Amino acid sequence: MQLKTGHVVGVNGNMVNVRFDTDVIKNEVGYIRVGDVRLKSEVIRITDGIAAMQVYEMTGGIKVGDAVEFSGELLSVELGPGLLTQVFDGLQNPLPELSKRCGFFLQRGVYVEPIPNNEWEFTPTRKVGDQIEAGDSFGTVPEGIFTHKIMAPFSLVGSWTIKSIKEKGKYHAKDTICVIENEKGETKDLSMIITQPVKVAIKGYSERVRPDEPMVTKIRLIDTFLPVAKGGTYCTPGPFGAGKTVLQHLTSRNADVDVVIIAACGERAGEVVEILKEFPELIDPKTGKSLMERTIIICNTSSMPVAAREASVYTAVTMAEYYRNMGLDVLLLADSTSRWAQAMREMSGRLEEIPGDEAFPAYLESRISEFYERAGKVRLKDGSFGSVTIGGTVSPAGGNFEEPVTQATLKVVGAFHGLSRERSDARKYPAIDPLDSWSKYEGIIPRMDVEEAYYYVRKGNEVNQMMKVVGEEGTSLEDYIVYQKEELVDAVYLQQNSFDPVDSAVTVDRQRYTFNVLLEILRSDFDLEDKKDARLYFNQMRQLFIDWNGTERENENFAKREKALREHIESRRKR
């Protein structure tokens, strides 16, 4: 194929205008030659014979007349065995490998193969003469804790026949292991690695189904009150310092899924470092192996080039869809989607597009919904199910949720976990506001019961607000007890101590068990003399409950502490 070329005619920030000599494709990747380095860029607009390209690197040193090569391919990632445990930048360059070549700094124009050409034990699952289509699996390799299915490229059109396929044995990731042919007699060599454009959603399944199974996070407030379903979407907006990232780290550790993909998009590099140092040492209770074995990190922190930040969330979701098509449950955590939106805003500004609200581009909402719509639970062709769950944090300017990114996100997600400054200032963690937040998914506890508990939270909160005006004296004992009940729910159930080895991760069984005790308390009437009596009684109850929460279930004290709590409840309960 003839090389497609062009040359630079203008530079403005990270956007470069290129006059092209042959046809170009919108969103195809091109390389700008600056001295002896090639800078990766993407065509984002074509006007009057000029292609506007966003450069994924710093643009210093580019001059008018510099040569540009077009690749003819859309921005893509490589998918295959060897992705898990890796740390990539937004364009799928493995960062540890880059540092081996370039040292401390990220040199521009250095691109490294994302998937190492390792040897894998291949087992064919199809035979010569079989028909396959896009996304069909024709063999497997064992990758860490999973059986990794080797699939035909998702870009295949029509039906193909297997002409030859390798026998069971060890092959390198890039070896040709299967040759296919279509009706027209065209042939294709397939290896274990396929390329997939990041902005095209992976199909290759039978149908999408409704997300109906809760994704357990072991965080009580989420699982019980604000559940997330496998294949669902949720967002976590909050001001800085409210604990968005800590909450995501906890979720990435404890979530009951097979693969976790963390997209650190435009946030602090230090936070990624914590995951990098921590995860290899933490053991996943489900598999008994290190947590890193089920994790992929896409890390395009705030000081890395902004265009690659825009690409990073797509890189992450494409990998998530790939593992989903193996029948696995994948959780994608994007921190933060606001930075991704800001990257779009920067580009839109350079293109001199007419700005929308707060200078965000008019297509902000459609981009956000396109992204979240890539989540979902699917039934695969072999009848098994796979899912991609997306959880995105939002960093609203000034902590005010009435801004474009939060609002556009709220329209498309299935659950909203709004973090509040008041709760984080009061050190009430997780700082999710139980009253503002909502979820449309079914959780681990019947909705009726959850609603009943919610009633007390809401009512107690109202009493508390009123008490601030009329004082404790002006509040009736009855209301005061409702308020105490609300405080109890907050202290022993909504809040969770992430530093406590027992309380930090609570299993479904235990949540159900504890919740029923709590519900019993809420439903009961108590024989209390006055407010002081009520306060003391509930304070003691709270202490007993927290002690119980902090006790391992296998521990002999568990039953003892439960008994102490129950006795305390019974001591004043009205019959």
Partner 1 sequence: MAIGKIHTKIESIVGNVITVKADGVRNGDLAEITSGGKKSLANVIKLDNDKVSLQVFAGGQGVSTGDSVKFLGVPMRVSASENMLGRIFNGAGEPRDNGPEMTEDLIEIGGPSVNPSRRIVPKNMIRTGIPMIDMFNTLVESQKLPIFSVSGEPYNELLARIAMQAEVDVIILGGMGLKYDDYLYFRETLEKSGALSHTIMFVHTASDPTVECTLVPDMSLAVAEKFALEGKKVLVLLTDMTNFCDALKETAITMEQVPSNRGYPGDLYSALASRYEKAVDFEGAGSVTILGVTTMPGDDVTHPVPDNTGYITEGQYYLKNGHIEPFGSLSRLKQNVNKDTRDDHRALMDGMIKLYSAYKDSLEKKSMGFSMSDWDEKLLKYGEAFESRLMDLKVNIPLEEALDEGWKILSECFEPNETALRTDLIEKYWPKK
Instruction: With H, G, I as helix, E, B as strand and everything else as coil, classify residue 194.
Output: strand
Q: For residues 101 and 108, give the distance between their C-alpha atoms in angstroms, rounded to a whole number.
A: 12
Q: Nearer Cβ to partner 1, position 8 or 450? A: 8
Give least dist CB 304 to partner 1, A. 5
Shortest gap between Cβ of 206 and partner 1 (angstroms)?
A: 39
> Which tokens in the block code for residue 184?
């027209």
**Cβ 291 to partner 1, closest distance in Å?**
17
Rounded least distance, CB 226 to partner 1, Å? 24
Nearer to partner 1, 241 or 285 (CB): 241
Binding residues for partner 1 (CB under 8 A): 8-13, 17, 58-65, 87, 95-96, 98-99, 102-108, 239-241, 266-270, 272-274, 276-277, 299, 301-304, 306, 339, 342, 345-346, 349, 352, 355, 358-360, 395, 397-400, 425
- Give per-residue burial for 170-206: e unless 16+ CB within 10 Å, then b: ebebbbebbbbeeeeeeeeebbbbbebbbbebbebbe
The one-character DSSP state at 388 is E
CB of 339 to partner 1, least distance (A): 7
Cβ neighbours of residue 306 closer than 8 Å, sequence gap 6 or more: 14, 266, 342, 343, 346, 347
Give whichever of 102 and 477 is closer to partner 1, judged by the CB atom.
Answer: 102
Q: For residue 284, give the DSSP letter.
A: P
Nearest to 397 by CA among 435, 341, 353, 317: 341
Alpha-carbon torsion (332, 336, 341, 344), positive or negative: negative
Nearer to partner 1, 64 or 435 (CB): 64
In angstroms, give the least distance from the CB of 505 to partner 1: 20
Angle at 387 between CA 117 and CA 194, to 5 degrees: 25
Q: Which is nearer to partner 1, 36 or 105 (CB)?
A: 105
Q: Which run of H or E residues covers position 7?
A: strand 4-12
C-beta of 240 vs 455, nearer to partner 1: 240
Nearest distance from residue 459's CB to partner 1, in Å?
24
Backbone dihedral region for residue 27 (phi beyond 0: left; psi -120 to 50: alpha; all else: beta): left
Comparison of 211 and 239: residue with beta carbon closer to partner 1: 239
| Least distance in angstroms from the C-beta of 124 to partner 1 | 36
- How many Å apart are CA 557 and CA 547, to the nearest integer? 10
Give the nearest distance from C-beta 38 to partner 1 in angstroms.
16
| Number of other residues whose CB lies within 10 A of the CB of residue 44 | 18
The H or E element containing residue 31 is strand 28-34
Return the number of the residue (472 or 567) whose C-beta is nearest partner 1.
Answer: 472
**Residue 12 CB, nearest approach to partner 1 (Å):** 5
Cβ closest to partner 1, residue 196 vs residue 338: 338
Report how far Cα 374 is from the mean position of its chain's Cα atoms.
12
Nearer to partner 1, 39 or 380 (CB): 39
- Sequence-separated contacts (24+) of 143-146 with Cβ below 8 Å: 143/81, 143/82, 143/84, 144/84, 144/85, 144/289, 144/293, 144/294, 145/287, 145/289, 145/293, 145/294, 146/258, 146/326, 146/328
CA dihedral sign, ordered 404, 406, 408, 410: negative
Q: Which amino acid is at 531?
A: K
Beta carbon of residue 338, minimum distance to partner 1 (angstroms, whole number) = 8
| For partner 1, the closer CB: 269 or 435 | 269
